[in-house]
Structure 1
């Protein structure tokens, strides 16, 4: 599943390619759309793309009249840019522009979701100033679940997925199995630093190796959540917990319980 750094790079590349293009037609192939296809067509027809940006784990396409088309790629959603005709299988939604180019979101599981003018989210973005140590202190004081569960909860903090949660917690030296309300305050400062460091450096790595990417995942640079690596940079063996989601961790991370 594309996570925050991937989507940040996708949004940058999509805006560079699509900004200013005028929509000619949209075709929906999903039942997950929150409005009828006609309403979608009537709302966006003739509008220009004003901006493309990331909101949590979604891509937001902002149009010239202020409307928003949000795309959640889910686990297997991919975006493809094309000329004249879409040849990709499993389309979820297709956008055709007046210059003959187009963009299609595909997903063989049909789980990817387009939403017209989504409701504002209340949880802060992982990279926002609002998601600081004080925010986590307030939230975690009420939680007896594991810290990794907290980081993955999009109703608490938006944008972090499984792979980056493991990387963040290793950098912060906090065990993913730590009980949230047992983590001391000074470690929450380490957690916030690790979130910003891991997510921003990942964006730089993705751009460096795949400057034009708008689909897929780049994970080769990861230090811990990496199936081909046996040990951390410090030499500690990487362990894998095969729970609901695979969790990669080492003995270098302190367990609070």
Structure 2
């Protein structure tokens, strides 16, 4: 699943490549996840220029002229594919811009979800979360910290992979009880969220250039079944939290 760093880079690439261009046609190949009819989606977006693509949590938001906004959640297997490549497999939406360029939203599971005029979210994006708000979010909570970080109703943008990377960087066990983490460690965790996500954005952006490459995970320090030892020399262990595989080391402090 694409997480915050991947989507941030995708939004920047799409903006560089397509902002200011006229959308001549959008093909709706799968409509069951739309919140409106295919006809309304087409009439709302076609013949309008794309102004910018922004990221909000785990969604991309395409802003067109006339205050027309299309939200997109790629879900678990959704991808963005340039039309300059081979014809897209498993297309959901195909965007054709004036001049012949374009891209497709693809998903073999057909779960990628486009939303015309997505409602604003009141939940903080992980990169906009200030320390005081973060402290209040953890205060008194009996939830495991890994689960809380991944809860999109609490913090938007962090998924399974980066949850592990953030907690390793902060030196906190994913099995820690959120409300039991001392204040100084909460401060470090907040710093780790910013550091890990922003560092990942820089690495992915450098690797991708202007190409819509899939999710990149090669630079991760702990979240990989291929890795056996963390950079600190400790053995990487794995377990399940909320049905998802979690990677951690015994060096990460447990608060409970």
- State the TM-score bracket (shorter-chain normalisation): over 0.9
CA distance in 1: counterparts of 2:253 and 2:143, whole angstroms: 16
Question: Are the equivalent residues in 1 in contact too, given 2:140–2:180 (CA < 8 A)?
Answer: no
Taking structure 2 as the reference length, the TM-score comes to: 0.95
Structure 1 match to 2:51? 50
Taking structure 1 as the reference length, the TM-score comes to: 0.95
Extract unaligned runs of 5+ from structure 2.
none
Instruction: Give the C-alpha shift of residue 226 in structure 1.
Output: 2.0
Structure 1 match to 2:146? 148
Question: Are the equivalent residues in 2 in contact too, given 1:177–1:255 (CA < 8 A)?
Answer: yes
Structure 2 match to 1:71? 72
Aligned in 2, Cα 1:116/1:197: closer, same or farther, shift over 3 Å?
A: same
Structure 2 match to 1:81? 82
For residues 69-95 of structure 1, give each alpha carbon's deviation from its aligned partner in whole angstroms, at most 9, with x where no partner exists. 111111111111215x97212111111
Structure 1 match to 2:133? 135
| 1:24-173 → structure 2 map (5 Å cutoff) | 24-28=24-28, 29-83=30-84, 87-128=87-128, 131-173=129-171
Question: Are the equivalent residues in 1 in contact too, given 2:31–2:38 (CA < 8 A)?
Answer: no
Extract unaligned runs of 5+ from structure 1.
none
Structure 2 match to 1:178? 176
Instruction: Give the C-alpha shift of residue 230 in structure 1.
Output: 1.3
Structure 2 match to 1:246? 245
Question: Are the equivalent residues in 2 in contact too, given 1:9–1:213 (CA < 8 A)?
Answer: no
**Runs of 4+ more than 4 Å apart:** none
Over aligned residue pairs, what C-alpha RMSD do you find?
A: 1.5
| 1:183-194 → structure 2 map (5 Å cutoff) | 183-194=181-192
CA distance in 2: counterparts of 1:44 and 1:7, whole angstroms: 22
Instruction: Give the C-alpha shift of residue 137 in structure 1.
Output: 1.7
Instruction: Give the C-alpha shift of residue 102 in structure 1.
Output: 2.0
| 1:173-252 → structure 2 map (5 Å cutoff) | 173-243=171-241, 244-252=243-251
Give the number of aligned pairs.
254
For residues 143-173 of structure 1, give each alpha carbon's deviation from its aligned partner in whole angstroms, at most 9, with x where no partner exists. 2110011100111111111000000001111
Question: Are the equivalent residues in 1 in contact too, given 2:53–2:63 (CA < 8 A)?
Answer: yes
Indicate the SS of the match to 2:164.
helix
CA distance in 2: counterparts of 1:132 and 1:150, whole angstroms: 16
CA distance in 2: counterparts of 1:6 and 1:231, whole angstroms: 25
CA distance in 2: counterparts of 1:214 and 1:124, whole angstroms: 27
CA distance in 2: counterparts of 1:118 and 1:10, whole angstroms: 19
Instruction: Give the C-alpha shift of residue 186 in structure 1.
Output: 1.2
CA distance in 2: counterparts of 1:148 and 1:136, whole angstroms: 14
CA distance in 1: counterparts of 2:102 and 2:183, whole angstroms: 49
